[in-house]
Amino acid sequence: MSSKYLLTIILIGTITFSCKQSEEKNKTVDLTAEQELIFPKGQKITNNNFVGNAWVEMLVLADSVNRNSVGSVTFEPGARTNWHLHPNGQIILSLDGVGYYQEQGSEKKILRKGDVVKCPANTPHWHGASPDTEFIQVAITSRVDGPTEWFEAVTDEEYMK
Amino acid sequence: MSSKYLLTIILIGTITFSCKQSEEKNKTVDLTAEQELIFPKGQKITNNNFVGNAWVEMLVLADSVNRNSVGSVTFEPGARTNWHLHPNGQIILSLDGVGYYQEQGSEKKILRKGDVVKCPANTPHWHGASPDTEFIQVAITSRVDGPTEWFEAVTDEEYMK
């Protein structure tokens, strides 16, 4: 085998390896981009107003002038709030995943990235993740006329209906 | 030149070309992922309260009970609001890109994905994109004590300071 030929073989090996490395690197970037969150996942919610695992990152707390609180909530698949209402309603911005939203007396709605809900005042409702996919949402809650009122848990029958 | 050697040269060319193609393909996927929007870009803003090109997608309109309006605003590089104030303040959620925010009498802040601003009530301020990168933000504006008051444009000197 001539040295020229040997050198060529080594060159092919080097190019192929570099190419593979380059692809692997890009794959990693893709994965990171998909998983990149806008807001931190926050703290696990430990009160009894939720079924399943959910996390909240409070982005803004209400004060006496701007009486809105804003939080990013992440629901694990199957997790949901209990039934509850807000005296001034609530705004839900769906950021990622697949979620459920239901007002008392209405059918359950499926929420996906970009969907927005304006939940009416004093209307019992619940929201959470779908059974198979987590759900990330921003909740904007006005405290002008008082705090959230919490009710009973959403049963599995209500959740799956 | 032997035919074996010629074949090897062709092989190197093919591998190098495939590698390049593969990288280009991955680049396109990356770009698409980066450009995936949560909310639609909306309508181009045509009033005189902005310098440069900006778009707004109104997500929620204020009503008599929930007096918050929520909009997603996209600023082209260099675009910004005029100076303005809100009687109940404003909440800004930075979704993507690189933006600027400044309150009267304070230094300009740089906003990136995930940054949140609670702009105080009755405080003149402006916000917009950085010179090189667009900026996407959600603005939550309470109308409890009245509408936004608009003032003069942000000069290039103020913008670049």
Q: What are the residues whose beta carbons fall under 8 Å from the beta carbon of B105, sequence distance 6 or more?
A: none
**Chain B partners within 8 Å of A18 (Cβ):** 19
**Are B99 and B152 within one domain?**
yes
Which stretches of chain A sit within 8 Å of chain B by CB? 4-5, 8-9, 11-12, 15-16, 18-19, 22-23, 26-27, 29-30, 33-34, 37-40, 59-60, 65-68, 70, 88-91, 93, 95, 113-114, 116, 118, 120-121, 138, 140, 142, 144
According to the model, what pLDDT value does residue A95 have?
97
Q: Residue A14 pLDDT > 60, yes or no? A: no
**Chain A partners within 8 Å of B35 (Cβ):** none
Q: Residue B32 pLDDT > 50, yes or no? A: no
B2: confidence class by pLDDT, cuts 50, 70, 90: low
What's the pLDDT tens digit per position in A59-73? 999 988 888 999 999
ipTM (interface pTM): 0.77
User: What does the H/E/C string look like for B13-36?
Assistant: HHHHHHHHHHHHHHHHHHHHHHHC
Tokens coding A2: 């001539």
Q: Residue A3 pLDDT > 70, yes or no? A: no
**Chain B partners within 8 Å of A59 (Cβ):** 91, 93, 116
Give the range of the structural domain holding residue A27, as residue numbers without chain letter: 1-36
Work out whether the CA dihedral A7, A10, A12, A18 comes out positive or negative: negative
CA distance A54 to A113: 18
Work out whether the CA dihedral A97, A103, A104, A110 comes out positive or negative: negative
**Are B75 and B107 within one domain?**
yes
Beta-ladder partners of B56? B43, B73
Instruction: Please state the domain count of chain B.
Output: 2
Average pLDDT, chain B: 85
Cα distances (Å, whole numbers) of residue B92 to A99, A141, B21, B126, B128: 24, 15, 41, 11, 11
**Are A58 and A8 within one domain?**
no
E strand map for chain A: 43-44, 50-51, 54-60, 68-75, 80-81, 84-85, 90-103, 109-112, 116-119, 125-129, 135-142, 149-150
User: What does the H/E/C string look like for B39-96?
Assistant: CCCCEECCCCCEECCEEEEEEECCCCCCCEEEEEEEECCCCEECCEECCCCEEEEEEE
User: Which helix (H) or strand (E) is B100 found in, with range?
Assistant: strand B90-103
Work out the average pLDDT over A116-136: 97
The rounded radius of gyration (Å) of the Cα atoms in chain B is 23
Beta-strand pair A68-75/A135-142: antiparallel
**Are A85 and A141 within one domain?**
yes
CA distance B111 to B119: 13
According to the model, what pLDDT value does residue B145 have?
85
B5, B22, B39 ranked by CB distance to A5: nearest: B5
Residues for chain A: how many in total?
A: 161
B160 min Cα distance to partner chain A (Å): 27
> Would you call A138 and B26 a contact, using CB atoms and an 8 Å cutoff?
no
Tokens coding B57: 């997608």
Q: Residue B75 pLDDT > 80, yes or no? A: yes
**Are A13 and A55 within one domain?**
no
Mutate to test the interface with B, among A15, A37, A58, A65 (most CBs of B within 10 A): A65
Residues for chain B: how many in total?
A: 161
B66: confidence class by pLDDT, cuts 50, 70, 90: confident
Mutate to test the interface with B, among A66, A88, A93, A143 (most CBs of B within 10 A): A66
**Are B64 and B10 within one domain?**
no
Contact A74, A55 (CB under 8 A): yes
Q: How far is CA B21 from the centre of its chain?
A: 31
**Are B30 and B78 within one domain?**
no
Q: Residue A13 pLDDT > 80, yes or no? A: no
CA distance A39 to A71: 9
Among the listed ranges A12-26, A87-101, B7-21, B131-145, which one has the minimum average pLDDT value?
A: A12-26
**Are A119 and A147 within one domain?**
yes
According to the model, what pLDDT value does residue A145 have?
85
According to the model, what pLDDT value does residue A82 have?
98
A19, A113, A120 ranked by CB distance to B22: nearest: A19
Tokens coding B107: 């230094």
**Are B104 and B30 within one domain?**
no
Q: Residue B10 pLDDT > 70, yes or no? A: no
Work out the average pLDDT over B79-98: 97
Whichever domain contains A123, its CATH number is: 2.60.120.10
> Would you call B140 and A68 a contact, using CB atoms and an 8 Å cutoff?
yes
Beta-ladder partners of B47? none
B5, B37, B138 ranked by CB distance to A8: nearest: B5
Q: Residue A23 pLDDT > 70, yes or no? A: no
Q: Residue A83 pLDDT > 70, yes or no? A: yes
**Are A82 and A17 within one domain?**
no
Average pLDDT, chain A: 85
User: In chain A, whose CA is at the least distance from the CA of B65?
Assistant: A88
Count other Cβ atoms within 10 Å, centred on residue A102: 20
**Are B82 and B10 within one domain?**
no
Mutate to test the interface with B, among A18, A37, A68, A95 (most CBs of B within 10 A): A68
Work out whether the CA dihedral A20, A24, A30, A33 comes out positive or negative: negative
**Are B136 and B62 within one domain?**
yes
According to the model, what pLDDT value does residue A142 have?
87
B12, B68, B88 ranked by CB distance to A65: nearest: B88
Work out the average pLDDT over A134-159: 94
Q: What is the DSSP letter of A45?
A: P
Three-state SS at A59 = strand
User: In chain A, whose CA is at the least distance from the CA of B96?
Assistant: A38
